[in-house]
Amino acid sequence: MIEQEAKRLKQITEQLISTKGSMVYQSPRHGELMPSVEILKETVELLRKIIFPGYFGNSSLNEENIGYYVGVNLDRAYHLLMEQIRRGLCFDCLENNDKICGDCNHHAKELTMSFFEKLPEIKRILSTDVEAAYCGDPAARSHGEVIFCYPAIRALTNYRIAHEMTKLGVPLIPRIITEMAHSETGIDIHPGATIGEFFSIDHGTGVVIGETSVIGNHVKLYQGVTLGAKSFPMDKDGNPIKGIARHPIVEDNVIIYAEATILGRVTIGAGSVIGGNVWVTESVPADSKVLQ
């Protein structure tokens, strides 16, 4: 009886792997390892500890020991991230069949260090986002509360990290990083989007910011806002053409209320206010008020 069970499990195993050549199972070139979502999670948490020390990670920080904690977390994050970027390069390489990862190790090191050199600037911009959330929300009791628990800060930390990687040309990894934040906060920001300083999102669940969106400074969104594509051109095989600018441009000082949907490569002029639940598919001039 038990032997029969064991035999059936073996048959199922064999059925499952017999499909291993199919499209679903891919592997990096040259027998390299696959990226690990688990380790990327750990890496992003280390970066969060580096950017907001004391809030995340060690609780006993003071002026004397903060350097030690940041230094150790930076060293750990560096080694972990370099390995994952290397794997990302190898994985991508398979897909496009090009020669770019000739020296993956070397390239991964350069990309990782270039990314780390952006960290002080990432920290600075995130501090403007904290400021914007604190000033814009009557329920916020302190900057500390904003850092500890506002989902927008969590999502923006992941996004700003991932966006710098995307600008450096790191494949795959940035998208995995923003999807972690999507899962935790319900805020879906594509790492390709461009977002200015003092950006805030209230509540956040259901916000979607598409790949080619461009957002200015001092912009505020509420929950459920979508900056999406209206349609996208197909190639001759009926597949969507990748990489075309197809999401909105939102200029400085715009406020967009809950559940508003803005679709296509339209421009929301500076200082405009878009009301809740509104559906916008054409550009609006500066200082407009668009209500339902």
Residue 131 binds to a copy of itself (criterion: CB under 8 A): yes
**Closest separation in Å from C-beta 278 to a copy of itself:** 9
CA distances from 253 to 197, 216, 270, 272, 287 (A): 11, 7, 6, 7, 9
**Spatial distance between the Cα atoms of 173 and 171, rounded to a whole number of angstroms:** 6
Cα dihedral sign for 18, 237, 210, 93? positive
CA distances from 262 to 101, 186, 210 (A): 38, 18, 11
**Residue 200, amino acid:** S
Which of residues 44, 85, 86, 87 is near a copy of itself by CB under 8 A?
87
Which of residues 137, 167, 196, 265 is near a copy of itself by CB under 8 A?
137
Residue 61 binds to a copy of itself (criterion: CB under 8 A): yes
Query: Which residue lies nearer to a copy of itself by CB, 106 or 285?
Result: 106
**Spatial distance between the Cα atoms of 85 and 77, rounded to a whole number of angstroms:** 12
Number of residues in contact with a copy of itself under rule CB under 8 A: 131
> Interaction with a copy of itself in 96-125: which residues (CB under 8 A)?
109, 113, 116-117, 119-120, 123-124
**Spatial distance between the Cα atoms of 229 and 210, rounded to a whole number of angstroms:** 7
**Closest separation in Å from C-beta 261 to a copy of itself:** 6
Residue 289 binds to a copy of itself (criterion: CB under 8 A): no
**Closest separation in Å from C-beta 181 to a copy of itself:** 10
Residue 55 binds to a copy of itself (criterion: CB under 8 A): yes
Residue 188 binds to a copy of itself (criterion: CB under 8 A): yes
Contact indicator for 244, 223 with CB cutoff of 8 Å: no
**Closest separation in Å from C-beta 255 to a copy of itself:** 11
> Interaction with a copy of itself in 241-280: which residues (CB under 8 A)?
241-244, 246, 258-259, 261, 263, 276-277, 279
Alpha-carbon Rg for the chain, nearest whole angstrom, is: 22
**Closest separation in Å from C-beta 103 to a copy of itself:** 14
Query: Which residue lies nearer to a copy of itself by CB, 69 or 159?
Result: 69
DSSP code of residue 186: S
Helices (H), 24-65: 37-51
Residue 240 binds to a copy of itself (criterion: CB under 8 A): yes
Query: Which residue lies nearer to a copy of itself by CB, 234 or 285?
Result: 234
Query: Which residue lies nearer to a copy of itself by CB, 280 or 284?
Result: 280
End-to-end CA distance of the chain: 67
Buried b (16+ CB within 10 A) or exposed e, 14-38: eeeeeeeeeeeeeebeeebeebeee
